[in-house]
Structure 1
Amino acid sequence: TIPTFLTLFIFAFLYEGVVVWDALRKKNTIQIIGVCIANLALVVYTAIQVDSIQEAVATLARAGAFINELTRAEMWNDVRPFLVATPCVIGLGTVCMTFVTWKLYQVFAWDILKNIGADYRMKKRFLHYQIYIALLKFDFFFFLGYIVQFVVIVARQDDPEFALTCASIPVTIAILLAAAYFTKRENKAGMICVIVLYLGGLSYFIFKLTRMYQSGYRNSYEAVRRSLTAFAVITILLILLTIANAIICMRNFGAGLKAHLVGPGLSEEKPDMNSLSLQDVKQQVPSRMTID
């Protein structure tokens, strides 16, 4: 439990760093807002892990895993302050990041206006597209977080579900990449297929969430039931939001957004052809003096 928590925790911040870098590169404020929301989910996850790690320490103590000089109480007293401080630090960082996100939104709004135009409906279509792309990226993280915990802690290697679950990772990556491609190219047939696959994923997580609390499987999920429940619930909500935004994006096909998406990206500010410079208004002075 403890190595899995630390590994997933480290991966979460590395992944968020990549998402933020991509958001700054594409000037997508929605992704940065998504990172702020994901940080709140991590606050909940790290708070849950305090009790989970305490139970893991107790299990190790009963198994005699500690050396003679180190007792269970000493181990827990050394670890507990860091576990309690972790969600507090993440929460404080999220507050600061929210302020920075607001400032970035004000900067990026002007760039979007220059590239998309002042048409309110077109800006709304572009907003739905940005939300959809951001949801795909967070779908992957929470799906992977659930799968890693399930495979490492719950599943047995001799169980066919172990191999099937591992195989679902590259399949999911392919589905999410296809979803982004079909949306950008406005391919309705591809989008319908992707939505059907979303419904399959939704059914899977609802099934796994129900199974965790069935009497015949409760013991298998005992160590990570709370964290898996949190990841499963968040993933279900994200899939529902993704399906809703996929339908909205599909309804926007053929409305002119494709030309902005497949064309040049948001570029750096260029001189306006209609603007005037000081050279344009500077009064021309004769280079030589003439004598009347």
Structure 2
Amino acid sequence: MYIPNSKWTWLFVVIVVIQAAVILGLESYVFADFQIHLQTVKAVDSKSSTKTIPTFLSLYIFGFVYELVLAYDALRLKNTIQIIGLCICNVGLLIYGAVQIEQIQEAVDLLDGIGALDNDLWDQTKPILIAIPCILGLTSVLMIGVAWKLYDEFAWTIYKHISADLRMKRRYLTYQIYIALLKFDFFFFLGFTVQFVVVVTGRTNTEFALTIAAIPVTIIILVFAAYFTRRESTAGMCAVIVLYIGGLAYFLFKLVRMYQPSREAEYTSARRSLTFFAVITLLLIVSTIVNAIICTINFHKGLKPHIWKPRKSNDEEKSTEMGPQTPGDDNPSRMMID
């Protein structure tokens, strides 16, 4: 697996790697500082507030590691849609970073009030928590600028891969959007589920077991969703769309339940964060359903060979473009479309 060798590609890699390294370092410091200051008090072991900060920080750290993986995957596939999605995701992480400041402050104040924390923790961590969204704001602007250049650079590759057929290019674009959405669906669903399982109180054993079981089931659904799309299985996609609608109903139920007066106390320690993840996940599911329907409509119209055909590396593309051509020769990189 190779990464295209261009200055914009490597600049994008540098921005993403440096951003991840800096944010991971800051978040790890805050995480370690919290663990050091946390007092061993048995009375608060059952309090969800003791789990709020580690859960938020761990999830945030995982978000940037996952973003690194998606960045490599997007550059490897020359997927401009996924690169644009990464820029949007980065802005989402910026918003989440701003949300976590107030959420962590509330958790610290509560734990400080019951003697579970040293009182100087917030003074030490506040500047770091404020710096994180500022850093993400700068890197997001840089990523968007480089993504614009990569869009122009990769557009030629897509043209050679699909040819000039506008209808086929639209079908391929829809397919790219759908696959990118599946990858982001995984992170936001997992983020919501982890917070619900770890932080939220008042769950029944049945609800807890069903929530845990939903994680591997979701992964299986997303894997098969991509598989059925590549194989152009109409029956499989119809089944997946039905499951998407079930997931949509599940998140709507959870979002409404968080704001019911009778249930409000259970979500106090993480309601803002859960609301953020639930709303983003709902938007992603709706977008995924729409694109899944369009992809299904596009089945058996000539796109499948282009999806399964491997792309050439940079060296192969250059040798094809610069190699000697006779007037009667056909371009081997051009694909005929029915």
Distance in structure 1 (CA, Å) of the matches to 2:238 and 2:313: 32
Q: Identify which of 122, 139, 145 aligns with 2:185.
A: 139
Distance in structure 2 (CA, Å) of the matches to 1:57 and 1:273: 61
Q: Identify which of 57, 61, 84 aligns with 1:33.
A: 84
Distance in structure 1 (CA, Å) of the matches to 2:75 and 2:94: 24
Q: Percent identity?
A: 60
* One-letter amino acid of the structure 2 residue matched with residue 260 of structure 1: H
Counterpart position of 1:288:
none
* One-letter amino acid of the structure 2 residue matched with residue 225 of structure 1: R
Deviation at residue 75 of structure 1 after TM alignment: 2.4
2:262 equivalent to 1:210: no
CA contact (8 A) 1:33 1:101 kept: yes
* One-letter amino acid of the structure 1 residue matched with residue 91 of structure 2: L
Residue 140 of structure 2: SS of its match in structure 1? Answer: helix
Runs of 4+ in structure 1 over 2 Å off: 155-158, 263-268, 270-277
CA contact (8 A) 2:81 2:177 kept: yes
Counterpart position of 2:75:
24
Distance in structure 1 (CA, Å) of the matches to 2:256 and 2:234: 33
Q: Identify which of 224, 242, 263 aligns with 1:178.
A: 224
Counterpart position of 1:80:
126
Deviation at residue 113 of structure 1 after TM alignment: 1.0
1:217-241 C-alpha deviation (Å, 9 max, x unpaired)? 1000000001100100000000000
Counterpart position of 1:272:
320
1:134-172 C-alpha deviation (Å, 9 max, x unpaired)? 000000100000001000001567621111111111100
Counterpart position of 1:159:
205
Deviation at residue 59 of structure 1 after TM alignment: 0.9
Distance in structure 2 (CA, Å) of the matches to 1:136 and 1:29: 15
* Residues 53 and 273 of structure 1: CA distance in aligned 2, closer, same or farther (over 3 Å): closer
CA contact (8 A) 1:183 1:191 kept: yes
* One-letter amino acid of the structure 1 residue matched with residue 110 of structure 2: T
2:54 equivalent to 1:8: no
Distance in structure 2 (CA, Å) of the matches to 1:167 and 1:146: 14
Residue 214 of structure 1: SS of its match in structure 2? Answer: coil
* One-letter amino acid of the structure 2 residue matched with residue 201 of structure 1: G
Q: Identify which of 238, 243, 266 aligns with 1:192.
A: 238
TM-score normalised to the size of structure 1? 0.89
Higher deviation after alignment, 148-157 or 166-175? 148-157
Q: How many residues were matched structurally?
A: 272
TM-score normalised to the size of structure 2? 0.77
Distance in structure 1 (CA, Å) of the matches to 2:173 and 2:123: 48
2:144 equivalent to 1:98: yes
Unaligned segments of structure 1, at least 5 residues: 278-292
- 1:51-70 → structure 2 map (5 Å cutoff): 51-66=102-117, 70=118
CA contact (8 A) 2:192 2:274 kept: yes
Counterpart position of 1:49:
100
* Residues 180 and 266 of structure 1: CA distance in aligned 2, closer, same or farther (over 3 Å): farther
Unaligned segments of structure 2, at least 5 residues: 1-51, 326-338
CA RMSD of aligned residues (A): 1.6
Deviation at residue 273 of structure 1 after TM alignment: 7.8
**Which is greater in Rg?**
1
1:44-97 C-alpha deviation (Å, 9 max, x unpaired)? 11111111111111111111123xxx43xx322211111111111111111111
